[in-house]
Amino acid sequence: MISMVSLAIRYLFSRKRQSLFTLLGIFLGAGGFVVISGFFLGFRFFFIDNLVNNSAHIFIQARQEFLEPHSLDESFFKNETKHVFWKSIPAGEKDYHRIESPQGWYERLDSDPKIEAYSPQLVVPALFSKGGSPIAAGFTGCLPEKQARVNTVAANMVEGKFSDIGGGGNRIIVGQELLKRLGAKIFENVMVTVGVGKQTPFQIVGTFDSGNKRSDLQAYGPLADVQRANHTLNLINEIDVRLFDYEQSSTKATTWSALSSETIESWDQRNSSIFTMFALQAMMRNIIVFVIMLVAGFGIYNVLMMTVSQKMKDIAILQAMGYESWEIRLLFLFQGFLLGVVGALLGLIAGFFICQYLQTLPFGGRPGATRPPGHLTIELTMGIYLQASLLSMMSALIASYLPARAAAKFTPIEIIRGGAV
Amino acid sequence: MSIVAKDVGKKIGDPPTQILTSINFEIPDGQFLSLTGHSGSGKSTLLYLLSGLDCVSSGSVIVDQVDLSRMKKKEVAHFRNEKIGFVFQFNYLIAELSVLENVLLPAKKYGQEKNRLELAKSILEKVGLIEKLNRLPRQLSGGEEQRVAIARSLVMGPKYLFADEPTGSLDTGNGEIVMKMLKEVHEQKGTTVILVTHEPDYARRAQRQVSLADGRIISDSGPSLELSLPV
């Protein structure tokens, strides 16, 4: 067996240019896989990391209920008539949606050891104005000490502290985007319209920058003040929950959904469309790599087929000397395998260094943002390198199998018989 | 012990063409036999059948009382490696290996290259190539290449040496050297040598001459013939 291995190496060295070109194919395939996978997976992890760290893991929201054509029959006519026909059929959202039994939820969440923190909220659409045109934005009433534990708003503060809204007194924290659109400054008052349309003055005591323009178009205020402004005292319509292990979010959300009437979504269920995009991205990555490997495989196949046709006499003499078919097969399979191993190894090394360089490139941030841009996230896990090695070697072995089989199929006499009868 | 051909027939191609018909003869151990005949007479085919490189279409070839057609592939491979030495018209050296590596190639099959190293060197010395054992085949002349091929066929100490027109591609001088080597192997080691040639002069130097025409034996000087013409 060793003699076949050393002979295979001699064969490869005897046609250096062909071997180098074939090696280049595998090298590009393996290196390309590492870089493309590192980039795509890095982006995916960056995105998930942002989602998981910046926001809560589970969102418990009041179920939106809608009026049915006969849902008001009893309220208006009790038992006076059997059949009610409406000129204008009742439709639309039923009442103001709320978490029906917040206390029940608090007890459940307090007793669950997997829950790190939760924050009851009243989230309402609001119009903010400071003299000019009103700006529509989200307004979240919360308990600041609880809210700070479920998302990163407290950590993203640019001016002031998130706990500054804890004392009540109509104080709010606004996102940088909202502040910019309002043309307001810290400690200035703005008018906020929620619920029935009455304006309430709130003082801006801090600003935050999450790095996401959309997230920064909102404001946080004390829960009681927002409830009062909205004329919905003691009402909450959302509980944001953070788990110790975010990977259990969807399981937990599904379990709670089955037990309650609220709408419950985990962070990944809420962003399912993005995960579909990631799946497409993964498919694209696989297609690109498959094409590269296919081309590299064809390179190996062609080179080895050519070698087989050039080495027919060698095959004949080896068999005449007692070498068996499996050894002839090994002679050619090993050439492909060796090209695969060396090509993959070089590709992995090159891929690693390219990934290291890509990691230094600035990424993120936006013009005018207070947060400095980060760097490109590149995934460098062992799994990628293992996959790249396996793919390269598999491609090389598959591509060399057919030439190896063809070589082993000949009998010495078939080769020699050319002119000998 | 001997090589026995019993009613051997061989067809090749599609549609099948009869190459050999009813070949019957026996080669006693230690005999130097030449197979002669015109091109297409079937002499090389007979050589391949006797050496186990090819399979009979009918009849049987029995070597050392074993029917080659009943051997498993692994057994045939072992038989070729251990008992058979083969010299072809074209030397078929492996271009990437040195002279010594080429000679030791049969020994490598079962990891015996270290045991056979000294033997390989002594054979190369006898054939006058000890100075060139690290050279590649392309650095040798045609005659030298053929001598390396003979050295390779002898490194396992084969009981049977088959030579298929080993002088066919050589000039007279090198042809003579090759014939002398075959004769020495036969005389000194007692190796059975079966030589295919269409050179009447070389054929006559064998102890026994068998002639073929159209796939049949047309003359056989007989197994007991003891010719010892000067080489």
Q: What is the pLDDT of residues A321-356, one digit of tens each?
A: 889 889 999 999 999 889 889 999 999 999 999 999
Interhelix angle A382-409/A325-358, rounded to 10 degrees, is 150
Instruction: Name the nearest CA neighbour of A299 among A15, A18, A28, A33.
Output: A18
Q: What is the pLDDT of residues B73-121, one digit of tens each?
A: 889 888 989 899 998 877 789 999 999 999 999 998 888 888 899 999 9
Query: How close B40 gets to chain A, by Cα (Å)?
Result: 5
- Of A94-98, A151-155, A262-266, A353-357, the one with minimum mean pLDDT is A94-98
Residue, of B170 and A371, whose pLDDT is higher: B170
Q: What is the pLDDT of residues A213-229, one digit of tens each?
A: 888 999 999 999 999 99
Supply the mean pLDDT for chain B: 88
Q: For residues A346 and A20, is the Cβ–Cβ distance under 8 A?
A: no
Q: Is the pLDDT of residue A276 over 80?
A: yes
> What is the average per-residue pLDDT within A167-180?
91
**Is A247 at the interface with chain B, CB within 8 A?**
no
Q: For residues A173 and A110, is the Cβ–Cβ distance under 8 A?
A: no
Query: How close A328 gets to chain B, by Cα (Å)?
Result: 12
Q: Is the pLDDT of residue A1 over 60?
A: no
Q: Is the pLDDT of residue B225 over 70?
A: no
Q: Is the pLDDT of residue A368 over 60?
A: no
Q: Which residue of B has its CA nearest to A12?
A: B96
Interface contact flag, A421 B19, Cβ < 8 Å: yes
Interface contact flag, A2 B108, Cβ < 8 Å: yes
Per-residue pLDDT, A364: 65
Beta strands in A231-373 (DSSP E): 238-243, 263-266, 362-363
Q: How far apart are CA B207 and CA B201, in angstroms?
A: 13
Per-residue pLDDT, A164: 92
Q: How far apart are CA B137 and CA B114, in angstroms?
A: 22
Interface contact flag, A322 B90, Cβ < 8 Å: no
Q: Is the pLDDT of residue A71 over 60?
A: yes
Instruction: Name the nearest CA neighbour of A138 among A64, A218, A67.
Output: A218
Share of chain B above pLDDT 90, in %: 52
Q: Is the pLDDT of residue A74 over 60?
A: yes
Q: Which of residues 3-32 of A touch B (CB under 8 A)?
A: 3, 7, 10-11, 13-14
For residue A420, the number of C-alpha atoms closer than 13 Å in the C-beta half-sphere is 25
Residue, of A298 and A96, whose pLDDT is higher: A298
Supply the mean pLDDT for chain A: 87
Locate B62 and state its tokens. Answer: 């029995």
Interface contact flag, B40 A317, Cβ < 8 Å: no
Per-residue pLDDT, A371: 57
Q: What is the enclosing helix (H) or strand (E) of A20?
A: helix A16-54
Which residues, listed in sequence order, are joined to residue A374 by a DSSP beta bridge?
A363
Per-residue pLDDT, B181: 87
**Is A320 at the interface with chain B, CB within 8 A?**
yes
Residue A420: its chain B contacts at CB < 8 A? 44-45, 48, 89, 164
Buried b (16+ CB within 10 A) or exposed e, A269-281: bebeeeeeebeeb
Answer yes or no: is the ipTM higher than 0.95. Answer: no
**Is B227 at the interface with chain A, CB within 8 A?**
no
Query: How close B87 gets to chain A, by Cα (Å)?
Result: 10
Interface contact flag, A325 B73, Cβ < 8 Å: yes
Q: Is the pLDDT of residue A264 over 90?
A: yes
- Which residues, 6 or more positions from B19, have their beta carbon under 8 angstroms from its beta carbon? A421, B10, B11, B12, B42, B45, B215
Residue A322: its chain B contacts at CB < 8 A? 77-82, 84, 106, 109
- Of A67-76, A130-139, A303-312, the one with minimum mean pLDDT is A67-76
Query: How close B187 gets to chain A, by Cα (Å)?
Result: 23
Alpha helices in A165-240 (DSSP H): 176-182, 223-229
Q: Is the pLDDT of residue B231 over 60?
A: no
- Which residues, 6 or more positions from A132, have their beta carbon under 8 angstroms from its beta carbon? A182, A183
Interface contact flag, A420 B12, Cβ < 8 Å: no
| Amino acid letter, residue B65 | Q
Distance set, CA B85 to CA A83, A288, B193, B200 (Å):
109, 53, 9, 23
Per-residue pLDDT, A49: 79
Q: What is the pLDDT of residues A372-404, one digit of tens each?
A: 667 888 888 898 899 888 888 888 888 889 889
- Of A140-144, A194-198, B146-150, the one with minimum mean pLDDT is A194-198
- How many CB atoms lie under 10 A from the CB of residue A48? 17
Per-residue pLDDT, A205: 95
Residue, of A367 and B188, whose pLDDT is higher: B188
Q: How far apart are CA A43 and CA A41, in angstroms?
A: 5
Q: What is the pLDDT of residues B142-192, one digit of tens each?
A: 889 988 999 999 899 899 999 998 888 778 888 888 898 899 889 988 999
Rounded to 5°, angle at Cα A384 from A383 and A387: 85
Query: How close A305 gets to chain B, by Cα (Å)?
Result: 18
Q: How far apart are CA B13 and CA B16, in angstroms?
A: 5
Per-residue pLDDT, A420: 37
Residue B108: its chain A contacts at CB < 8 A? 2-3
> What is the average per-residue pLDDT within A34-40?
89
Interface contact flag, A417 B12, Cβ < 8 Å: yes
Interface contact flag, A321 B105, Cβ < 8 Å: yes
Per-residue pLDDT, B170: 79
Residue, of A242 and A362, whose pLDDT is higher: A242
> What is the average per-residue pLDDT within A90-95?
78
Per-residue pLDDT, A129: 93
- How many CB atoms lie under 10 A from the CB of residue A268? 18
Q: Is the pLDDT of residue B30 over 70?
A: yes
Q: Is the pLDDT of residue B229 over 60?
A: no
| Amino acid letter, residue B184 | E
**Is B231 at the interface with chain A, CB within 8 A?**
no
pLDDT confidence tier of residue B1, bands split at 50, 70 and 90:
low
Per-residue pLDDT, A152: 87
Whole-prediction pTM: 0.69
Residue B12: its chain A contacts at CB < 8 A? 417, 421
Per-residue pLDDT, B227: 43
